[in-house]
Amino acid sequence: MPTINEIGFLGTGIMGGPMAVNLAAAGFTVTAYDPDRIRLASLAERGVAAAASPAEAAAGRDAVVVMVASGPVADDVLFGSGGAASAMRPGALLIVMSAIAVPEAEAQAAKAAKLGLRWLDAPVSGGESGAKAARLSIMVGGAAGDFEVARPIFDVLGRAVHIGPVGTGELAKLVNQLTVASTIVAVSESLLLAEAGGADPARVREALLGGFAQSRIMDEHGKRIIERDFAPGGPAKYQIKDTGAAKALARSLNLDLPMLNLADRLFCDLVENGGGDLDHSALFLELMRRNGRLPQGSVLAAE
């Protein structure tokens, strides 16, 4: 198996920035590209070299990591004009860590294969805090041998599980987002019921964390809801991209998943009512709006 030393890194935003820094700190040679030149330059003092294009970041590297906002953007930085793929040597490894649709992953993997490149889809869960703390959960689709080659990268960023062939990492990420979105709705309804019923929601959360209602969402997002701290984190507008993709996948499999449909509808309501840039835990505000309980001056439009 080849050993990876030099990494190209495409996309140094909220997630990609700290991931690139962590890889450089672990001893990899990291050359990054981002259209935001100021953001990119700010990483230089933390060991991440700046490239002028995806192709420059990728040329001659053992592996290229992609952490951009969507499937079409990933396709563009890889296969568009000045894209990374054409600059890479045959046998090098593409690792797409963005959350993209399963068919997009399959199509991009096929294009990569034609160029003699290997491919993993490796989306993550854990958010900005997980990226910074190198505690991401990484869901990997692709060949088992390629997973082993990439493992030193994943080990720096968090904890990786090899799910199955190309696309199954993205499938697992959609499943993850289905669980996350639904659990945020469940926690929001629960804490609203607690408050409306006259209990201190902080004590209810504390009690629930000790039993079967425990979840990381109840812990972290429940705390946000109680403190009304809706600074992202994970903006609601990205949540509906993922629930929308999960719905499309379910439809293509002829699956009726009523809770996914409900969660998607409620998050769309939140975005339509002005909450798209709030953390996804602001679903609680959408429930308050729906019930005529929004406080005066709320960022959301009233019912």
Contact 5, 28 (CB under 8 A): yes
Q: Does 168 bind a second copy (CB under 8 A)?
A: yes
Nearer to a second copy, 39 or 132 (CB): 132
Give least dist CB 257 to a second copy, A.
5
Q: How many C-beta neighbours within 10 Å does residue 149 have?
A: 20
Q: Does 138 bind a second copy (CB under 8 A)?
A: yes
Nearer to a second copy, 148 or 200 (CB): 200
Q: Does 251 bind a second copy (CB under 8 A)?
A: no
Quick one: which of 104, 102, 97, 183 has its CA closest to 139?
A: 97
CA 210 from chain center: how many Å? 28
Q: Does 301 bind a second copy (CB under 8 A)?
A: no
Give least dist CB 205 to a second copy, A.
9
Rounded Cα gap, residues 255 and 258, in angstroms: 9
- Between vectors from CA 15 to CA 68 and to CA 285, what angle results, nearest 5°? 100
- Give the position of tokens 């990484």: 138
Query: Beta strand pairing status for 136-141 and 124-125?
Result: antiparallel
Q: Does 187 bind a second copy (CB under 8 A)?
A: yes
Quick one: which of 188, 181, 195 has its CA closest to 236?
A: 181
173 labelled catalytic: yes
In the DSSP assignment, the letter for residue 235 is B
Q: Of residues 11, 17, 83, 126, which one binds a second copy by CB under 8 A?
A: 126
Q: Of residues 36, 148, 155, 200, which one binds a second copy by CB under 8 A?
A: 200
Q: Does 248 bind a second copy (CB under 8 A)?
A: no
- Of 17-25, 39-47, 48-56, 174-182, the window that binds a second copy (rule: CB under 8 A) is 174-182
Q: Does 294 bind a second copy (CB under 8 A)?
A: no
Residue count at the site for a second copy (CB under 8 A)?
A: 74
Q: Does 136 bind a second copy (CB under 8 A)?
A: yes
CA dihedral 25, 28, 33, 37 (to 10 degrees): 30
202-231 residues in contact with a second copy (CB under 8 A) are 203-204, 206-218, 220
Give catalytic residues, as residue numbers.
173
